[in-house]
C-alpha cells in the first residue's frame, strides 16, 4: 500500500489509475481502525478497481469541549490493518493540507434540516464539519464511489443529501454495522470504556432490538416505546441522549403506516458518547 500526505501526490497517483480506466473507491476515516472500517475496505475492493482510504481527524466536526485531543490515534496499527485488508493507497493529510486557512474563515458545506436534529442538537456544527471535510475529500479524490458505515446513520443521510443537492458524481454506499458478540457496535469511542462501562454498553443494542421486536409484533404507540426505552437505558446505567423511532428515508416522524423505519439511540456511558441504530422494514 502506498502512502501520500499531499493533495498533489494523491492526484498524481489517481491520474495514473484514471488513465488506465480504473474505478476508484474512497473510504474516509478518522483512523483508529477497527473491523467495521476494514469491512468498508473489503466492500470497496469488491466494487472498485482501486481503494483509497483517508485518515484525518477532522477538527471542524468537534465542538469545544469534545474529545478532539483525546481521539485515539494509532497510525502504525492502522497501516498494518489497511495493508492486510488490501487498500491501495492511504491518504493521510495534515490539518494544513485540508484547511488552508483558519477554520473560522473556511468555506463550509451545510445540509440544513437533517443536520439539525438528533446528534445535530447535542453536537451543534458537527454535521457542517462532516459535510465540509467529506466534500473536500471528494473534490481531492474524485472517487466513483465512497463508503460509510451505517452505524453513523444520520451522517450517511447527510452525506447522501449533500451529494444529491450539489450534483456530485459519486455513488454513496452504506455498509452494515459490525458488532461485538454481545451486540455492541464497533466504534473508536469504545476505547474510552472502563470494564464496568463496557459491561453496561450493550444495553443500547438490546433496547434497539426489543423495540424493533415490539414494532414487528404490532406495537404502534411509538412515543410510548421511546419513553420505555429511555427509562430502561437509564436503569441499565446509561445516560441516554435520545432514543427515537423515525422514518428511515429522511428521519422524519413516522406515521403508523410507514414501512421503512430506523430506531436511533445515543447515550453516554461514562465519558463515551455512543450511538447506534437498527433499521426495520414492515413490508
Active-site residue list: 37
Closest CA to 235 of 273, 203, 268: 203
| 28 contributes a contact to ligand PAF by CB under 6 A | yes
Residue 197 main-chain phi, psi, to 5 deg: -65, -40
| 36 contributes a contact to ligand PAF by CB under 6 A | no
Of all helices (H) and strands (E), which one includes residue 4? strand 2-4
Taking CB under 6 A as the criterion, the residue among 24, 32, 58, 154 binding ligand PAF is 58
When the beta carbons of 149 and 254 are compared against ligand PAF, the nearer one is: 149
- Count CB neighbours of 14 within 10 A: 21
Taking CB under 6 A as the criterion, the residue among 4, 10, 14, 30 binding ligand PAF is 30
Rounded Cα distance between 108 and 129, Å, is: 8
| 29 contributes a contact to ligand PAF by CB under 6 A | yes
Interaction pattern, residues 138-167, with ligand PAF; x per rule: CB under 6 A: --------------x--x------------
| 52 contributes a contact to ligand PAF by CB under 6 A | no
Closest CA to 35 of 214, 181, 231: 181
When the beta carbons of 134 and 140 are compared against ligand PAF, the nearer one is: 134
> 58: which residues sit within 8 A by CB, 6+ positions away?
30, 98, 129, 130, 133
Residue 281's DSSP bridge partners are 260
- Please give the residues from 101 up to 130 whose contact with ligand PAF meets the rule CB under 6 A: 130
Taking CB under 6 A as the criterion, the residue among 133, 184, 193, 203 binding ligand PAF is 133
Site residues (vs ligand PAF, CB under 6 A): 28-30, 58, 61, 130, 133-134, 152, 155
Amino acid at each position: 500500500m502506498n502512502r501520500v500526505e499531499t493533495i498533489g501526490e494523491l492526484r498524481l497517483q489517481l491520474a495514473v489509475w484514471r488513465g488506465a480506466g480504473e474505478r476508484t473507491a474512497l473510504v474516509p476515516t478518522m483512523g483508529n481502525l477497527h473491523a467495521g472500517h476494514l469491512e468498508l475496505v473489503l466492500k470497496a475492493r469488491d466494487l472498485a478497481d482501486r481503494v483509497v482510504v483517508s485518515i484525518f481527524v477532522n477538527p471542524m466536526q468537534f465542538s469545544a469541549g469534545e474529545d478532539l485531543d483525546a481521539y485515539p490515534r494509532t497510525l502504525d496499527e492502522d497501516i498494518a490493518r489497511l495493508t492486510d485488508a488490501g487498500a491501495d493507497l492511504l491518504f493521510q493529510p495534515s490539518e494544513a493540507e485540508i484547511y488552508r486557512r483558519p477554520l473560522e474563515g473556511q468555506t463550509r458545506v451545510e445540509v440544513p434540516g437533517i443536520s439539525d436534529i438528533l446528534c445535530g442538537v447535542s453536537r451543534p456544527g458537527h454535521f457542517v464539519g462532516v459535510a465540509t471535510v467529506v466534500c473536500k475529500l471528494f473534490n481531492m479524490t474524485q472517487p466513483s464511489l465512497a463508503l460509510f458505515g451505517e452505524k453513523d446513520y444520520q451522517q450517511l443521510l447527510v452525506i447522501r443529501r449533500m451529494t444529491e443537492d450539489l450534483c456530485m458524481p459519486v455513488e454513496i454506499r452504506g455498509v452494515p454495522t459490525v458488532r461485538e458478540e454481545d451486540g455492541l457496535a464497533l466504534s473508536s469511542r469504545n476505547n474510552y470504556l472502563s470494564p464496568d462501562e463496557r459491561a453496561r454498553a450493550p444495553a443500547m443494542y438490546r433496547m434497539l432490538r426489543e423495540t424493533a421486536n415490539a414494532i414487528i409484533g404490532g406495537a404502534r404507540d411509538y412515543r410510548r416505546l421511546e419513553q420505555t426505552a429511555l427509562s430502561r437505558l437509564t436503569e441499565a446505567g446509561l445516560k441516554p441522549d435520545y432514543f427515537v423511532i423515525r422514518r428511515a428515508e429522511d428521519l422524519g416522524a413516522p406515521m403508523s403506516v410507514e414501512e421503512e423505519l430506523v430506531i436511533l439511540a445515543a447515550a453516554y456511558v461514562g465519558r463515551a458518547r455512543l450511538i447506534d441504530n437498527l433499521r426495520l422494514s414492515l413490508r
